[in-house]
Structure formats: structure tokens, C-alpha cells
Chains A and B, each alone.
Chain A
């Protein structure tokens, strides 16, 4: 009798302490990607949906990014502890004195590109001279402008909205596009790849690695474990997404519907596949999450050349390797 009672009590203790510990141990934090839910952020949504963050002791709240919720602002104001930013944006913020640190460089390659119709006879960068080129906002103009400078091009800059209709209607000769997004939209508006001439910046010595995970330096200093846990869970999410694309797409689409954003599976699938190409480029063996100094200095020096920053921030304080995933 005694023994049984003791055992029951012990079991009760174990269960109670475990439940209690879970609540205590889970650290509340929030994350904002640059944009609304889409496969560009599949890894984070998968990690959230499949409990990878919880597994790593994080009770995460996902904030939808986009024009109304710019991650840089949320990060700066402490409304989100983690955010994804382009490397160029991160460097600019740091240079401006906002102490952000890159704790993981997810994308190794820029997906920003210029695209032209072959019918407009643009086959080389030089052919763009005097042509109307659609450009997005400032962040998206750094590479194109460096590109025009590099090839000494005098183009007619046309401000481009987030639709590609201006390009489709021949309102511009060259359009800006993200490989994983607008390029596919163009394809799915009836233009065939062989009718298009593409200019990937990374092929012209202007590779700007895009999405990376950022946090404030203070956060990193105070909660290094949390940062590591967040990055590990995110990378796990990405790896799972590429290993199980159909499940990943289901989760991404679920989040899109939740946000009332019309979505097509084929487009998200294209995006996921391209993310894989951008995160794991065929011709690169940089481990996931690692920021390569060459990439950093290339981006920083171009920013400086263009007067967007006055001084190149110190790489060592900008990038804090923060992952137990050392492999590719």
C-alpha cells in the first residue's frame, strides 16, 4: 500500500512538474517576415505549424509583414524580436546606427532580376540603353543602378508597381522581377521562357544575398540561447519544407487563406522550388545560415559607392553565427 501510494505521488509530481516547466520554459517571442505569408517564408511557417519552435522552447507569434508592417520598423521598435531582412537593408540599418545583427543568412543568392521581352530586341545589358526600365522602390534599385553604372547605361527609369501589367502591356521594355515571384507571374500571363531575356544580378557580379534573420544586438546579447533556438528551428523548418514540398505547400496555402490572400498552388510551388535554388545554389557549398564575408563586403561596398552608407559596418559585429547547423 505504501509503496503504491508513494509511486502514485511520484508520478503526479513528474506530470505536474513537466507541465509547469513547459509553461515556464517556453519563451515568448515574435517574428515578422518581410511580406505576407507565401512560400518565400515557407520554412518559418512550417517550423511554427509543426511545432519546431515549441520543440526549441519558443512560444512564437508570427506577424504578417508587408507594407503595413515593415520588419525594419517592428524590429527597431521592439514589436518583433526577430525579422527577415535583405542583407542590403540590414547593412543600411546597422550603418544608420540601428544595432541589428544578422544571426543567419538564409538566402545565398539574390533573386532580383531584370527581364525583357526578346521581341524588344534586348539581348545584352548594352541593349537596354535608352529603354524604359521598370524599377521598384529604393531597396530594389540598388542592384539595378549598380548594374546600369557597371555597363554605363542611360535608361529611362519608370517606377514600377507591384504588378507586372505595365511590362506585359509593353509600357516598359525591361521590368524588375523577383525570380521566385514576378517572373513566374509573367510566365503565367502567357509569355514563354524562350520569349524572355533574363538578367540575374548574381550572374553579373552583383549577387546580393537577400533574406536573412535579424535581431537587435541587445536581444542577441541577452538571449543568445533564444536566438540559437530560433535559427535552429527555422533552418529545421526550411529543411523539412524542401524534403516535404507538398506538405509545406499545404501549410503555406493555409496561412495565405487565413490572411485572405488569393493564392494559387502552382505559384507557391514555383516559389518554394526557387527558394530552394536560392538557399542551396547548385554552385555553392556555403552551409545554410552562414554569411560569407565576400558577399557582405560586396554588398556593403556597393552601398557605400552609391552613397547609401557612409561607412562599412564591422562584419564581425554585424554577423553572429548562431546555429548548431553547420552542414549544408
Chain B
């Protein structure tokens, strides 16, 4: 579970972000430092090329001056006799950098008899030798090119077998005379120089481990190169052809054009990628190049990069471990808490909560959790106690109710041997202990005492008050007093010592079963209905009595009616007429009267149960808020 949770999220998000950041920084650093190194390398390379080219040019230019001076001399001075031969000799002798020199004349220009004339002094094993150039030299490059171009030139390098197979180059300067107003070339002054020192200069260039310098001629011929098979044998273009490299060929063309540059290049020796700097010699247009192996120049930065990447990987692993630790420290207590809460959910509040040592949000959560657990425990304890108390009270109330109900006569028919009348009563108590009452009992052989009442309020006080009322009625009625007096006495007794100002409405009557006469007294109660056998239904006239317990010394008046055979009296409490449905409508007297008229032919028991059913239909799901009491007396006569 943890792997899909906070831990995994942390690892993925943080490590991805960190890796991204690392690579951005690393990449930027790499690019910048590489560019810096390339820039430095280019600067160094250009400086090296410039210095080397200058070194070579210095020598070549100093060599150039000698034949130039000689040519100048030849233009202005007569060269009769052997003097110029000696001059050439002394030039060679006094200029150690010059290997050989000649003044070669145009055909018949030295004198009319000689087709060629070219006295040549040259070094030979440390001494200076002399000879005339023994061949038709007019068509040789060293002679013909400066002649055709009318300017001094350096020849392409060549092998001089006579001088011991050393690479040479000849600087040739044409000289002129003005004859008959026409400037005419008379010959060429030359100086041969060994290029061995070039090999030394270029060969001594070592860049990093495998970098090197090389020199190519105007034709692209390698004059110096670490690969000796190329020297004086291949041109940069034949090398390019051999390697099938247009890149090399183009580079060679740039070089022999006298351009300079700094370009990527693959070494002909090592095959390594290099940077190559190239620059032309000012004197003869040859091109010097030096190779800077990229990997060797980049060695430091490559090493640095390796270290940085290693550090990055180590950091990555470290971070990984740290995140796992942190994630663990968060999720472990969370998981423990979650487990504990699962147990708590099953109701076991005694479970031990995990101990959190850190001081963070998890600790706070654990603390809240612990507080919740304590609160829950306390609350449940209190709830248990309260419930127990309520249950006790409720059971006591139930007992009270049972007692209350026990007071009421409940056996029907109550007087099976009296055929003169029938009586039936029902009390449907509401949830709480209510205050309805009814009673009937014989005072003597003929007189039946009937009472129906309703105590104000509900609950235990009401039921107690009801019990008192019933006891008082029974006590007073049996004394044989007039009915109004009985009620007044009961009223007085109830009114005295009635601090809670309770009261009871009461219909009280005495029915003479012999005569069918009923004397009644109504103390603020709903007037019962008299149902004549003929079908007439009407409420009994009021006696203008007030509810009992309200006012002491009230004098109750009584009235009398006579029941004929088949007449009935329907007594009830306000629980019937004030039964309420969900729309807050009352059952009402009208509905009651209508129902009485409908049910009057039925036996008493069915009448009450029919009425009760009708009330329930009316109320539907609305709770019963008050006791419902109904009592029916039916007179059959003697």
C-alpha cells in the first residue's frame, strides 16, 4: 500500500524534479564550459598558428632578401668576366641558410655565344662546390614560373637527390634590363633553401598527447607531417580522395587559397576528432595547420563531467534513501493510526495509540486522535449512564402508568347480573403517562356513580393528581351527599394545597338504574352526548361548573335527565375531539357526532373500537399526543 501512496508520490515527484534540475544545470554547465574550452583552444590555436607562421616567414623573408638584392644588383651593374660567378659563391658562403644559388641567364643574354649560362654554387658535405647548371633550364619551374609571372616566386618543394634527399625550395627573382627602351628579362637569380628546419619547427609542435602541426605547399603537397608517407608524396587532395572526404578536399582548397580558420577536423594520423587551425605563410602562400585533439583538450572537462555525474548519481541514491525515510516517518504512524482507528471503529476504545516522537503535523494528528479517543470514551460512558438513568425512569413511569391503569375498572361487562344497563369504557393512553380518568361504581343497589375526567398537563404529576381525584370522588360519593356538594368537596380538597396549580375537568353523574334518571354535574368537561333510541344525538346541557382545583369554595349545580329504554350516553375526553392529523386539523365535535350517528346501532364494544379506528384513520401517522377515553352507557330499563 505504501508504494502507491505518499512514498511513491514523493519519490516520483522529487526525484524527477531533482533529476530534471540536475540535468539542466549539468547540461548548461557542460555547454558553457565546453564553449569556454573551445574558445580558449581557438585562441591558443590561433596564437600558435600565428607564432609558427611568423617564425617560418621570418626565415623565408630573410632568405628572399638575398636573391632580391642580387637581382637588384644585376639590373644596374655590368656583369662582365667572372665577377658574377664569384658573387654567387660569396652569397652562398656568407649565408648559411642558403643551400645553393645561381644566376641563370636567358638564352644568349650573358653573351652572344652561350645559349645557357648559369653558374651554380651549392653546399656539398660542408664545403661549397661550383658547377654550371648542365641542362636546358629554361623550362624548369624555378626558371619558367617567375619568368612567365614576372615576379619572384617560391618553387614547390622538391627532393634534392644531390643534396642527400632533403626537401628544398627555390626562391627565384627575375632581373631585367632596359634595352632600346624595352624592359627585358635577362635572367633569374635563385636561392635554394633546405626545408629541413621547417620539419623541425612543425615537427616540434606537440599539442596535448597526439596533436601535431603540418605544412602544405601551394599545391597542397605535404611538406611536413608526422605521417612520413604523406610527405612530398601526397597532396591534401589525394589524401582526401583516398579517404573519400569532400570535407578534407574543401578544407585543402581553403588552405591553399591563403585563408585561415579554426575548424573541426579528423586527424589523418589518429583518426581522432580534432580542431584544426590553419593559416597561410605570408611569404609563399603555403599553409600551416595544427591539430588540437578534442578529447584530449576536453579531458579535464570530461573528467569533471564524470565526477559530476557520479556525484549526481550518488546524490540521487542518497535522496532516494532520505525520501524513503521521510515518507516512512510520515506514513508509518499514519498507517498505525489508520489501523488503530479501524479497531476503534469496531468499538474497541481501549486500543493503544501509536507513540509519535516527532513534533510535526503527524504528532498533532496523533494528539487529536488521542483526544478524540478520550472524548469518545468519556462520552460513551456518560451516554451509558444517562441511558441507564432514563431507562430506570422510564420503567418507573411504566410502573406508574400500570398502577394508574390498574385503578380504572377494566373488566367488561362489570356487572353481569344487572340487565338494566350496559356500560363500556376504553382508555387509549398516549406515550407519556396521561391524566385521563374514568370510573363507575354502585353507591347502593340502584345508584351507579359514573365519572369521566381529564387532568391538566401530562406525566407523573398529572397521573398522581388523577389518582387523588379518583380517590377523593370515591371517598366523597359514598357519603350519600347531593351530587353538587360531592363535587364542591372534591374541588375544595383539590384546590387546597395545590402549589403546582393543577386542575381536572370532570363529568360526574349518578344514574338511577330503576328510574333511568341521571343527575349530573359537569366541572368544565366536554359535554357527553345523549343518544336517544329514536336516533337523536345531542350534548347534555351544561351545568356551568368550572374545572376542579382552580377555585376553592365553588358551588357546583346539577341537572337531571331521564333515560328511556334504549337511550345511550357517550362520554369522552378531549383526546377524541382534539386528535390531530398531520395537517394540524382536529377530529372535532362534528366528526364525532357524525360517527356516533353511524355507529350507534352496534354493540358498545364495537362502537368504541369503530370510533377508535376512525380516529386513527384520521390521524394517520401523526403521533397520539393525548389520552383518548370513551365511555358508553346504554339503558335497557327494568
A265→B233 contact, CB < 8 A: no
- Given the interface contacts A161-B144, A190-B237, A263-B233, does A169 sit within 8 Å of B138 by beta carbon? no
Is B149 part of the contact surface with A, judged by Cβ < 8 Å? yes
Q: Complex formed: what's the CA distance from A187 to B139 in Å?
A: 22
Q: Which of A168, A172, A265 is in CB contact (< 8 Å) with B218?
A: A168
B144→A190 contact, CB < 8 A: no
What residue in chain A is nearest B253 (Cβ atoms)?
A190
Q: Using Cβ atoms and an 8 Å threshold, which residues of chain B touch A171?
A: 144-145, 148-149
Q: Complex formed: what's the CA distance from A187 to B144 in Å?
A: 22
Most B-side CB within 10 Å, residue of A160, A165, A168, A192: A165
Contact with B along A171-200 (1 / 0, CB 8 A): 110000000000000011110100000000
Chain A nearest Cβ from B281, distance in angstroms: 16
Q: Which secondary structure dominates where chain B touches chain A?
A: helix
Q: Using Cβ atoms and an 8 Å threshold, which residues of chain B touch A132?
A: 148
Is A266 part of the contact surface with B, judged by Cβ < 8 Å? yes
Is A324 part of the contact surface with B, judged by Cβ < 8 Å? no
Is B101 part of the contact surface with A, judged by Cβ < 8 Å? no
Is A6 part of the contact surface with B, judged by Cβ < 8 Å? no
Is A163 part of the contact surface with B, judged by Cβ < 8 Å? yes
Is B523 part of the contact surface with A, judged by Cβ < 8 Å? no
Q: Using Cβ atoms and an 8 Å threshold, which residues of chain B touch A267?
A: 238
Q: Complex formed: what's the CA distance from A263 to B242 in Å?
A: 13
B237→A189 contact, CB < 8 A: yes
Q: Using Cβ atoms and an 8 Å threshold, which residues of chain B touch A264?
A: 233-234, 238, 242
Q: Using Cβ atoms and an 8 Å threshold, which residues of chain A touch B138?
A: 159
Q: Using Cβ atoms and an 8 Å threshold, which residues of chain B touch A187?
A: 237
B238→A266 contact, CB < 8 A: yes
B238→A165 contact, CB < 8 A: no
A190→B141 contact, CB < 8 A: no
- Per the CB 8 Å criterion, the residue count for chain A at the interface is 24
List residues of A (259-301) whose CB comes within 8 Å of B's CBs.
262-267
Q: Complex formed: what's the CA distance from A250 to B305 in Å?
A: 47
- Given the interface contacts A171-B144, A190-B252, does A161 sit within 8 Å of B139 by beta carbon? yes
B233→A165 contact, CB < 8 A: no
Is A166 part of the contact surface with B, judged by Cβ < 8 Å? yes
Is B156 part of the contact surface with A, judged by Cβ < 8 Å? yes
Q: Which of A166, A170, A263 is in CB contact (< 8 Å) with B141?
A: A166
Is A308 part of the contact surface with B, judged by Cβ < 8 Å? no
Chain B nearest Cβ from A159, distance in angstroms: 5
Q: Using Cβ atoms and an 8 Å threshold, which residues of chain A touch B156?
A: 163, 165
Q: Which of A160, A168, A265, A266 is in CB contact (< 8 Å) with B139?
A: A160
List residues of A (49-75) whose CB comes within 8 Å of B's CBs.
none
Is B295 part of the contact surface with A, judged by Cβ < 8 Å? no
B148→A262 contact, CB < 8 A: no
Contact with B along A147-166 (1 / 0, CB 8 A): 00000000000111101011
Q: Using Cβ atoms and an 8 Å threshold, which residues of chain B touch A265?
A: 242
A190→B256 contact, CB < 8 A: yes
Chain A nearest Cβ from B223, distance in angstroms: 14
Is B140 part of the contact surface with A, judged by Cβ < 8 Å? yes
What residue in chain A is nearest B216 (Cβ atoms)?
A190
Q: Complex formed: what's the CA distance from A172 to B141 in Å?
A: 12
Q: Complex formed: what's the CA distance from A170 to B148 in Å?
A: 9
Q: Using Cβ atoms and an 8 Å threshold, which residues of chain A touch B238?
A: 188, 264, 266-267
What residue in chain A is nearest B143 (Cβ atoms)?
A161
B219→A158 contact, CB < 8 A: no
A188→B237 contact, CB < 8 A: yes
A169→B237 contact, CB < 8 A: no
Q: Using Cβ atoms and an 8 Å threshold, which residues of chain A touch B153?
A: 169
Is B241 part of the contact surface with A, judged by Cβ < 8 Å? yes
What residue in chain B is nearest A260 (Cβ atoms)?
B161
Q: Complex formed: what's the CA distance from A265 to B253 in Å?
A: 21
B220→A190 contact, CB < 8 A: yes
Q: Complex formed: what's the CA distance from A145 to B308 in Å?
A: 75
Contact with B along A7-39 (1 / 0, CB 8 A): 000000000000000000000000000000000
Q: Complex formed: what's the CA distance from A8 to B299 in Å?
A: 75
Is B456 part of the contact surface with A, judged by Cβ < 8 Å? no
Is B232 part of the contact surface with A, judged by Cβ < 8 Å? yes
List residues of B (218-277) whose CB comes within 8 Å of A's CBs.
218-220, 232-238, 241-242, 249, 252-253, 256
Q: Complex formed: what's the CA distance from A159 to B144 in Å?
A: 9
Chain B nearest Cβ from A259, distance in angstroms: 14
Q: Complex formed: what's the CA distance from A192 to B218 in Å?
A: 15
Chain A nearest Cβ from B144, distance in angstroms: 6
Q: Using Cβ atoms and an 8 Å threshold, which residues of chain A touch B252?
A: 190
Q: Using Cβ atoms and an 8 Å threshold, which residues of chain A touch B148?
A: 132, 158, 166, 169, 171-172
A163→B141 contact, CB < 8 A: yes
Q: Using Cβ atoms and an 8 Å threshold, which residues of chain A touch B139?
A: 159-161
Q: Using Cβ atoms and an 8 Å threshold, which residues of chain A touch B233?
A: 262-264
- Given the interface contacts A165-B156, A266-B241, A266-B242, does A189 sit within 8 Å of B220 by beta carbon? yes
Q: Using Cβ atoms and an 8 Å threshold, which residues of chain B touch A165?
A: 141, 145, 155-156, 219
What residue in chain A is nearest B217 (Cβ atoms)?
A189
Q: Using Cβ atoms and an 8 Å threshold, which residues of chain B touch A159?
A: 138-139, 144
Q: Complex formed: what's the CA distance from A170 to B249 in Å?
A: 21
Q: Using Cβ atoms and an 8 Å threshold, which residues of chain A touch B237?
A: 187-190
Chain B nearest Cβ from A67, distance in angstroms: 11
What residue in chain A is nearest B156 (Cβ atoms)?
A165
A170→B149 contact, CB < 8 A: yes
Q: Using Cβ atoms and an 8 Å threshold, which residues of chain A touch B242?
A: 264-266
B149→A169 contact, CB < 8 A: yes
Q: Complex formed: what's the CA distance from A172 to B144 in Å?
A: 10
- Given the interface contacts A187-B237, A264-B233, does A161 sit within 8 Å of B141 by beta carbon? yes
Q: Complex formed: what's the CA distance from A189 to B149 in Å?
A: 19
Chain A nearest Cβ from B236, distance in angstroms: 8
Chain A nearest Cβ from B227, distance in angstroms: 13
What residue in chain A is nearest B244 (Cβ atoms)?
A266
- Given the interface contacts A188-B241, A265-B242, A266-B242, does A168 sit within 8 Å of B234 by beta carbon? no
Contact with A along B125-148 (1 / 0, CB 8 A): 000000000000011110011001
Chain A nearest Cβ from B231, distance in angstroms: 10
Chain B nearest Cβ from A28, distance in angstroms: 33
- Given the interface contacts A187-B237, A262-B233, A267-B238, does A168 sit within 8 Å of B144 by beta carbon? no
What residue in chain A is nearest B257 (Cβ atoms)?
A190
Contact with B along A241-255 (1 / 0, CB 8 A): 000000000000000
Q: Complex formed: what's the CA distance from A84 to B581 in Å?
A: 141
Q: Complex formed: what's the CA distance from A168 to B235 in Å?
A: 14
List residues of B (531-562) whose CB comes within 8 Å of A's CBs.
none
What residue in chain A is nearest B150 (Cβ atoms)?
A171
Chain A nearest Cβ from B81, distance in angstroms: 31
A189→B219 contact, CB < 8 A: yes
Q: Complex formed: what's the CA distance from A187 to B241 in Å?
A: 10
What residue in chain A is nearest B141 (Cβ atoms)?
A165
Chain A nearest Cβ from B549, distance in angstroms: 137
Chain B nearest Cβ from A282, distance in angstroms: 23
Beyond contacts A159-B144, A169-B145, A189-B235: 16 other A-B pairs, Cβ-Cβ < 8 A, are: A161-B140, A161-B144, A163-B141, A165-B145, A166-B141, A168-B218, A168-B219, A169-B149, A172-B148, A188-B235, A188-B238, A190-B252, A192-B253, A262-B159, A262-B232, A264-B238
A-B residue pairs in contact (CB < 8 Å), sample of 23: A158-B144, A158-B148, A166-B144, A166-B145, A168-B219, A169-B149, A169-B153, A171-B144, A171-B149, A187-B237, A188-B237, A188-B238, A189-B219, A190-B219, A190-B220, A190-B235, A190-B252, A190-B253, A192-B253, A262-B233, A264-B234, A266-B238, A267-B238
- Closest 6 A-B residue pairs measured CB to CB? A171-B148, A189-B219, A188-B237, A266-B241, A188-B238, A262-B233
